[in-house]
Chains A and B, each alone.
Chain A
Amino acid sequence: MYFFRRLFYMFLVVVGVSMLMFALVRVIPGDPIGLALGANATKEDIEKMRHEMALDQPLHVQYIRYVQEIFWHSKLGMSLVEKRDVMEVIRDKFPATLELVLAAICLAMIFSIPLGVTAAMNRGGWWDHFNRLLALFGVSFPHFWSGLMFQFIFGSILALTPLTGRIGGTPPTDITGFYLLDSLLTLNWGAFKDSLLHILGPAVILSLGPLANITRLIRANMIDEVSKDYIAVSQATGMNELIVRYKYMLRNAFSSSLTTIGFLIPLMLGSAFVVEKVFAWPGMARFGADAIIASDFNGVVGVTLVICLAFVFVNLTIDILYEVLDPRIRVKR
């Protein structure tokens, strides 16, 4: 029952977002069509295109047509920036963004879990204070600036990483759309190293915020766990301290952190708008940023819809994961 209620709410969110963004971009006072067709377009050309894109119809008629197009032809409308259907653009560019976001969240987890656990174990000590400072630093960087400085230091001065792009040579055979994974699957080491060096900069920059957030969260939840009875029991039985910390406490601390970690993913899709712009990463977020600036209304609605769906998907996944990780919830419901 609970799950269906959530499902219904999430459905409402998707419909709400699509309507809101749809209406929002269509009241744009400028003339995106004229802009897209260029200065040579005659009045008739513009009128014809407006008619073709159904912009001369009432708003609700346009919306119904838009939804029909999605379900019947899986089309999201013409992009004025890319001059092809938005669905096609997103299909091409989404894997790049997803790869970047997943790489960043992995980086963040790898570093934040040991940092958070050790900070909690040395609560009030210098290591704990240092960690807090580190976390506060992490959330204070403007992405565009830390990205530029990364490029400046590691790309220009030290010449260790490429400045921009996703890969230098030819991309690996397309299996998953993730260059790192595809090159591994095809044992294409050259492409793997190439794409790894390219993803390093944007992934590190994108991971700084989540790294800080997750560290603080794990620390707080670990501290909550320390005072619980089962810890005293397992310590009294002489169980290995590392097993107690990383197996039992972390499991509980981590599952209470899940909601927040889930919320970080849609948030990172937003930060990716800036990071992909700085590193010329050929992903969906860069397209989204370009689309917004160019008043490419179909592009804007399409990209926001995908971000909203990602938000919904992550939330429902967390709901399910909670039950797997935390048996108490299963009983309660």
Chain B
Amino acid sequence: MNEAAPAKRKEGLARSWVRFRKNHLAMAGLIFLIVITVAAILAPWMAPYPKDAGLGVHFDKALSPPGPGHIFGTDEAGRDIFSRLLFGARLSLMLAVIVLGIAFSIGVPLGIIAGYFGGAVDEIIMRITDIFSSIPALVMAMAVCVLLKPSLENSMIAIALVWWRSFCRLAYGETLSLKQEDFVTVSRSLGSSSFYIMFREILPNMTSSLLVKITLDAGYAILVGTSISYLGAGASPPTPEWGIMVAEGRHYLPGSWWPSLFPGLAIFLTVLSFNLLGDGLRDFFDVKVE
């Protein structure tokens, strides 16, 4: 080990970046996600009518079609849809971060422990995972959410409490194959503790699979979250949450299509971007993650 190592690493990263940049679809996804993240952060300053994200109502302008002043039109209470979409981006991105954060911290350690120790620990953890895997995420998350009392925060917690199972399965599978590797045997014979091997040797080696999984799941989690809100078990109006905006806007179809079209389009494009990026990363790392 010498000073050349970090320089080499830097060079490797730069080369990878050049290789990754050639995937135009993945780059398009990445760029859109950066734009939407910046828009979400700057929402209070970027939105033409920041007050419309909350209780502001202007019934004189209700349901005005897209045009100058309101590029995406206004909803049934005369609120600017574009402004509400910007604030909604915050909620959707927050949902993805919170859900995946909790699910990751529950699922990954459980999966590694089950895979590493095997035997009874494996059986118990994986049979519980089976139980959670046999019911669609949307259904169980919705049930848990109603139980906790429908709200945006609770829908995030509910989805996370269901989501850990897929991280557990991924970490389990990866651990089973990684623990056969020589570096684990070497580390063990050098006297490393199980804890050290699991989280300092095995875990870092599944980074690329987990990264792909997180990217793909972020989009999927947003789909589930907005669906729960749409069905009335999550956020409630006038929260500028995208799912609830579609639910509210549908009453004005077919005459006024803009209150339901644009929020849905925002969901679609965000989820698509995560999928484009995740798919590109999957190719790039050459890992099999569903």
Contact surface of A with B, Cβ cutoff 8 Å: 9, 12-13, 16-17, 20-21, 24-25, 27-30, 129, 132-133, 136-137, 139-146, 148-149, 151-152, 156-157, 260, 266-267, 269-271, 273-274, 277, 288-289, 292-293, 295, 300, 303-304, 307-308, 311-312
Contact B139–A273 (Cβ < 8 Å):
yes
Q: A271-B138, A277-B231 are in contact. List 20 more A-B contacts (CB 8 A).
A: A9-B127, A12-B131, A13-B131, A16-B128, A17-B134, A25-B143, A136-B25, A142-B268, A143-B227, A144-B246, A144-B247, A145-B264, A149-B261, A152-B253, A266-B136, A270-B138, A273-B227, A288-B139, A295-B146, A308-B135
Contact A145–B143 (Cβ < 8 Å):
no
> A residues within 8 A CB of B140?
304
**CA–CA, A300 and B140, complex, Å:** 10
**Contact A289:B227 (CB < 8 A) given known A142-B268, A142-B271, A266-B134:** no
Cβ-closest 8 pairs across A and B: A270-B136, A145-B264, A156-B254, A16-B131, A140-B272, A140-B271, A311-B134, A144-B230
Q: Which applies to chain A's interface (DSSP): helix, strand, loop or mixed?
A: helix
Contact A20–B131 (Cβ < 8 Å):
yes
B243 is an interface residue with CB less than 8 A from chain A: yes
Q: Would you give the shortest CB distance from B33 to chain A, in whole angstroms?
A: 13
The range of chain B's interface size is 35 or more
> B residues within 8 A CB of A307?
134-136, 139
**CA–CA, A144 and B225, complex, Å:** 12
Q: Would you give the shortest CB distance from A88 to chain B, in whole angstroms?
A: 21
**Contact A304:B233 (CB < 8 A) given known A9-B127, A13-B130, A142-B267:** no
**Contact A9:B130 (CB < 8 A) given known A292-B143, A293-B233, A304-B135:** yes
**Contact A148:B250 (CB < 8 A) given known A269-B136, A293-B232:** yes
The 18 sampled A-B contact pairs (Cβ below 8 Å) are: A20-B131, A132-B25, A136-B25, A139-B275, A140-B271, A142-B227, A144-B231, A145-B267, A148-B246, A148-B253, A270-B139, A273-B136, A274-B231, A277-B231, A292-B233, A304-B135, A307-B134, A308-B134
**CA–CA, A149 and B260, complex, Å:** 9
Question: Residue of B at shortest CB range from A270?
Answer: B136
Contact B254–A152 (Cβ < 8 Å):
yes
Q: Would you give the shortest CB distance from A23 to chain B, in whole angstroms?
A: 11
Question: Residue of A at shortest CB range from B225?
Answer: A142
Contact surface of B with A, Cβ cutoff 8 Å: 25, 127-128, 130-131, 134-140, 142-144, 146-147, 149, 219-220, 223, 226-227, 230-233, 243, 246-247, 250, 253-254, 257, 260-261, 263-264, 267-268, 271-272, 275-276, 279, 290
Question: Residue of B at shortest CB range from A15?
Answer: B131
Question: Residue of B at shortest CB range from A289?
Answer: B231
Contact B134–A289 (Cβ < 8 Å):
no
Question: Residue of A at shortest CB range from B276?
Answer: A136
> A residues within 8 A CB of B279?
132, 136
Contact B223–A142 (Cβ < 8 Å):
yes
The winner among A28, A136, A289 for most chain B CB atoms within 10 A is A136
**Contact A273:B138 (CB < 8 A) given known A16-B127, A156-B254:** yes
**CA–CA, A82 and B47, complex, Å:** 45
**CA–CA, A148 and B227, complex, Å:** 13
> B residues within 8 A CB of A12?
127, 130-131
> A residues within 8 A CB of B130?
9, 12-13, 16
> A residues within 8 A CB of B261?
149
Q: Would you give the shortest CB distance from A183 to chain B, in whole angstroms?
A: 29
The winner among A20, A157, A274 for most chain B CB atoms within 10 A is A274
Q: Would you give the shortest CB distance from B77 to chain A, in whole angstroms?
A: 20
**Contact A140:B275 (CB < 8 A) given known A24-B147, A28-B147, A148-B246:** yes
